[in-house]
Structure formats: structure tokens, C-alpha cells
Amino acid sequence: MANFDYDIAIIGGGAAGLTVASGSAQLGAKTLVIEKEKALGGDCLHHGCVPSKTLIKTAHVYHLMKSGPEFGLPTMELPPVDFRDISKRIQSVIDVIQKHDSVERFCQLGAKVEFGDPVFKDEHSITLGNKTVSARTWVIATGSSAAIPPIEGLDKTPYLTNRDIFNLDKLPSSMIIMGGGPIGIEMAQAFSRLGTKVTVIEGAPQILGQEDQDMAEIVQQTLEAEGVIFHINTSIVSTRDLGSEREVTVETAAGKTVRFRGETVLVALGRSPNVSGMGLENIDVEFDRRGIKVNQYLKTRHKHIYAAGDVNGGLQFTHVAGYEGGVVLSNAIFHLPKKTNYINVPWCTYTHPELSSIGMNEKRAKAASMEYSTWIEEFSASDRGLAEGENTGKIKLLLDSREKPLGIQILGAHAGELLGEWVAIMNAKVGLSKIAGAIHPYPTLGEINKKVVGSIYSQKLFSNTVRKGLKFFFNLKGRACTCEPETDCTKN
Ligand SMILES: Cc1cc2nc3c(=O)[nH]c(=O)nc-3n(C[C@H](O)[C@H](O)[C@H](O)COP(=O)(O)OP(=O)(O)OC[C@H]3O[C@@H](n4cnc5c(N)ncnc54)[C@H](O)[C@@H]3O)c2cc1C
């Protein structure tokens, strides 16, 4: 057997790469991680999930401070925010998590970390600076970057992406957000709440295109009520730098040309895989604009070269990158063949209210020509929702013909947390009667999970058939009160 420097080498020290590295090192494989930035952690820690959720929380607190009268409190006149302080808070959160993703920690686990720009020399070795490093197995986990489409004038117009948005010197007075996907929409609400005049431009007929339209519409209406301006079904034609302002020219669905001006432009038009500069063409690893092509075992054309995380163009979430890291470990270190399975992948868009989802929604079920029934429960009927002032949203449960859950979407406060129960139900294949019979604490928002299942059973339980059966067997006497058509019984 050839004598390689490492058993396994991973390019990219983000969610996918570090999952593989920590597992392989602890399992006794001689492991190398190569990272091109100055620190480990990847986009999620430095320019993605962590800074965005920290910013969202800050914006939520500021919004709450201004919402006193809704809670019976006095009105407060608040000074404008200083974005440098917000950036400091974001950085302080990153710094704490960074310790978990430090070179020292990975060294303790047994993995070596090198920083630099690796280039494949052949299928087993790379050059890194002036040295060559070889490994038996390679994992490409280089993530993705903001996609910058060829929009006329964009190359000459200053714009922001997720790499710059979290450490601005000042809060922009106005912002045009290109793209109504999760990143664009989360940032739209956060910046609007902090005091920026936000306009979102989306080419599709709805924002959050992966989600059911009725759910996405409530998110849009909520943001509109807070002051965000939306232009959906609107294509971006060109951009122009006007010095102190940027101009974005769009074409509406009706074919009208409209121009918008804003202090800043945020490009949130999807993601591009980080595939360039590694010499992938030298080793014939196949990729296109979506990402590196892999099979169900996450193997590229070469059975010892894997691609995991955003770079393979699949679902672009940190938890999916981590899951794929686990699949690579199973295949490359344990040699236990494991295929990927994305049926029960949950996700959440962290607007307020949040929109979380697992399994099929109506859009995907219709596209797959599946038969389903929907069961809905509104947060306006949640006692805790009312007490909290969190009564916007609903849960939507999709069942197949045998009443097995196909998928759940929750739109409401803490929807990401509320989905946890469904993650367990869907993965453990728990029967719905168990949820209907389980005692949930009162008053909690989580009761909505039991209520939506309860509505399926109560329809059957309180039916004429059951009533007739009980009357027959136990001689029940029936109704004690009957409402006349003209009487409003609810007033009694
Ligand atoms: C604004 C924003 C918010 C997000 N919020 C969420 C969220 O709330 N929840 C969620 O699940 N996901 C979220 N995501 C997505 C999440 O960040 C990604 O899915 C996740 O980081 C992917 O992990 P990865 O390991 O594939 O890539 P990364 O974590 O980005 O890691 C890739 C690493 O490879 C390095 N690299 C790149 N090229 C090279 C090279 N040539 N040589 C060496 N190293 C290289 C990079 O520097 C990086 O460190 C968000 C993304 C953004 C942009």
C-alpha cells in the first residue's frame, strides 16, 4: 500500500470539514485540515448563522423596546443605534464560539491544522506553499460564497454581501436587498427594525421560494407592517453607482421599468460553490455552477475523494453539512457504506415570526403528485401566544392517506424550537396518537403541536357514530341544551 503523509486530509475548516476532522482524529486516523482563511469555523461562524442570529436578536430587542405600549408600558423615545456597538456584540459571540473551533482544540483531538491555499497536484497530493502533502482519502468541504450574477453595472457598483454586512461602521439609512430568500428576508427585517429603510426585490412571484405561498405571504405581510417594502415578480436589470447612493433599475411583471435608490445594496441572490483555485481540473473532479458532483455516498468520480457541505450543491445548511460530515466518516473511516438521505431535513428561517419546516410541504407534495390532507392550527388560538403577544402564525401538518405525517411547517414565535418535537416524531416514526395522548405543559406555545394532532382525533371521537354507539350501550340521554337558530348560545 502506498505510504501517504495522512490517512485523511480535509480542505475547508467549516461545518462539514470540522465534523469529519474531529471524528476521524478521535477515531485514530492521521488527520489534516487545510483552511484558507486565518481561522477555523467557516461561513456559519464568521459570516453566516452566528452573526446573523446575533444581529437578529439585537434588532428584536430594539424592536421590543419600541413596542412598550403593546404590552401596557409607556412609550420610549430611543436614540438611533450605533452599528459599531452591534458589530462588537456580534464579534464577541463569534469569539466565544471560535474557541470551540480553534487550532488548539483540534490539535488536542489529534488533527493537524494548516492554513494556506492548497492546489491538487494529483489525485492523492496537493501543493501547499512550497511543500507537497499526500493523503489516502481527501474531503473537499470548501463551502459556498454569495453568488454574484452578471447584472449590468454591478461590477462598478459598491455592494455588500454576507461577508461585509455584520461589521459596518454605521447603520445604513436605506438598503436595497436583491433577493427574497432566507438570507435576504432575515436581513431585511433585522435592518428595518434597527432603523434602515429596506426595499426587497425578488424575481419570483413569492418570497422564500422553497416555502408554501400561504406561509411566505404571512412573513411578507408581517415585514410590510413593520415598514419593509417588497417588489416581487420583479427582475433586476442593472445597477449604477451615483456616488453617495446606488441605483437599481428593475422591470416589473407588467413590463414597467422602475428605478430605486438606496445608500447600500445587499446582494442575496443565492450561493456559488467554492470550487476554484484548488486545481480540481487537474484531477478530473466533476463540477458545475451548482457544485461538485457526488454520488449518494458523497464520493466524487474518485472513490477516495469526497465532497461534503455547501460545495456539493445540496441543501445549504450547517446541520446538513454536519450530517454529510458524518456520512463521510462512516464511508471513509469505518468503511461502512452509508448513503445520504435528506427526507427528514428540518430548517428554519429566523424572521419574527420564524418559519420552520420538516418533510413535505404542499408545494413539494403537489410537485411529487402525492395525495395528502392538511391540518391547521392557528397561534391566535394559543393562550400562551396571546399572553406573549405572539399570536401571528400557524402550524400546518400534511398527512398521507394512512394518516402518517408527510411534513410539518410552523410559522410562529420560536418555530425552530417547536419543530424539535416533530424532528423526533418523524425520525422515530412515532404514531400521532402518542402525541395526542401526551401531556404537554400549559400554557406553552408547544401545545400547538398536540392541538393540531388533537383536531384529527377529535373529529373522529366527537362524531355521530360514537355518540350513537355510547347511547346504545350506556343509555346516555343526549344533549342537555339546544340552541335555537335565532339564539346566540355563546352569550350564555
Ligand atoms: C448569512 C447566512 C446565514 C446563514 N444562516 C444559517 C442558519 O441559520 N442555519 C443554517 O443551518 N445555515 C445557515 N447558513 C448556511 C451555512 O452557513 C452553511 O450551510 C454552512 O456554513 C456550510 O458549511 P460548509 O462546511 O459546507 O462550508 P463553510 O462552513 O463555509 O466552510 C468552508 C470552509 O472552507 C474554506 N475554504 C474555501 N475554499 C478553500 C480553499 N480553496 N482551500 C482551503 N479552504 C477553503 C472556507 O474559508 C471555510 O472556512 C447561513 C449562511 C449565510 C451566508
pLDDT 10s digits, 108-163: 999 999 999 999 999 999 999 999 999 999 999 999 999 999 999 999 999 999 99
Q: Is the CB of 36 under 6 A from ligand 1?
A: yes
Task: Return the pLDDT at 459.
Answer: 85
Mean pLDDT over the full length of the chain: 96
Mutation pick for ligand 1 pocket among 22, 44, 47, 316 (CB with most ligand atoms within 8 Å): 44
CA 464 to chain centre: 45
pLDDT 10s digits, 305-341: 999 999 999 999 999 999 999 999 999 999 999 999 9
Q: What CA–CA distance (Å, rounded) separates 309 from 10? A: 12
Sheet of 229-231: strand order equals 229-231, 197-201, 174-178, 264-267
Task: Return the pLDDT at 488.
Answer: 63
Q: Is the CB of 277 under 6 A from ligand 1?
A: yes
Answer whether 33's CB lies under 8 Å from 113's CB.
yes
Q: What is the DSSP string of 105-148?
A: HHHHHTEEEEES--EEEETTEEEETTEEEEEEEEEE---EEE--
Q: What CA–CA distance (Å, rounded) separates 366 from 298? A: 28
Distance 310 CA to ligand 1 centre (A): 7
pLDDT at 487 over 80: no
Q: Is the CB of 278 under 6 A from ligand 1?
A: yes
Mutation pick for ligand 1 pocket among 19, 47, 49, 126 (CB with most ligand atoms within 8 Å): 49
Q: Atom 51, ligand 1: which residue's CA is nearest?
A: 48
Q: What is the DSSP string of 288-300?
A: -SS-B---TTSB-
Q: What is the DSSP string of 168-199?
A: -SS--SEEEEE--SHHHHHHHHHHHHHT-EEE
Residue entry with cell 402518517: 404
Q: Is the CB of 66 under 6 A from ligand 1?
A: no
Q: What CA–CA distance (Å, rounded) separates 354 from 351? A: 5
Distance 446 CA to ligand 1 centre (A): 31
Q: Is the CB of 310 under 6 A from ligand 1?
A: yes
How far apart are the two ends of the chain, measured CA to CA in Å?
86
pLDDT 10s digits, 397-418: 999 999 999 999 999 999 999 9
Answer whether 142's CB lies under 8 Å from 278's CB.
yes
Distance 48 CA to ligand 1 centre (A): 7
Please report which confidence band the pLDDT of residue 492 belongs to, taking 50, 70 and 90 as the band edges: very low
Please report which confidence band the pLDDT of residue 386 belongs to, taking 50, 70 and 90 as the band edges: very high
Q: Is the CB of 185 under 6 A from ligand 1?
A: no
Partner residues linked to 33 by β-bridges: 10, 113
Q: Atom 15, ligand 1: which residue's CA is nearest?
A: 317
Q: Is the CB of 52 under 6 A from ligand 1?
A: yes
For 1-29, what is the mean pLDDT?
96
Partner residues linked to 299 by β-bridges: 306
What per-residue string of b and e applies to 117-131 under the rule 16 or more CB within 10 Å gives b?
ebebeebbbbebeee
pLDDT at 1 over 90: no
Q: pTM here?
A: 0.96
Helical ranges in 333-446 per DSSP H: 362-367, 383-388, 415-428, 432-437
Task: Return the pLDDT at 228.
Answer: 98
pLDDT at 96 over 80: yes
pLDDT at 482 over 90: no
